[in-house]
Amino acid sequence: MSKSASVSAVKWAQRAGSAASDFVNGAKNTTKDQAQAAIAGFENYKSALTASFAKGSFAKGLQKSGKTGWLNGITEKGEGNFAAGVMAPAAQSKYSTESARFDGARGAAASMPRGPKGSPSNLARVAAVANAQHAVKIA
């Protein structure tokens, strides 16, 4: 007699859930460079995405999950993962480093005159900062 899907799902969650340390140890001990492998597979990834879009798989997957599936993911696992992720020291360091790239761009309008609310000079200040930030982002 075969197991039901619900029994199999419980067993899967228990067994896979207890393998977290195996997952971390496997990542720490691999000799493969994950980033280089991903870069090398770029054309395959691009082809798969193009085929997925052409077949409508992207939209079908979103429709299958819907807002309810998205919200369940956030409430069941996203909240805890979000907090743990952003509070990790490495995440804070990475955020600081990435944010620092834009320090100069944020000050791009410092020498420009301020004007009254809604004035062309204020819009020029906004444009200067936006253009400077965009230049940093695409560099």
- The residues spanned by each domain of the chain are 103-138
Confidence of residue 110 (pLDDT cuts 50, 70, 90): very high
pLDDT for the residue numbered 131: 97
Residue in 27, 26, 46, 30 with CA at minimum distance from that of residue 38? 46
pLDDT for the residue numbered 29: 96
Give the other-Cβ count within 10 Å of 111's Cβ: 8
128 Cβ contact partners less than 8 Å away, ≥ 6 residues apart: 108, 109, 112
Give the other-Cβ count within 10 Å of 125's Cβ: 19
pLDDT for the residue numbered 18: 87
DSSP-based three-state secondary structure for 53: helix
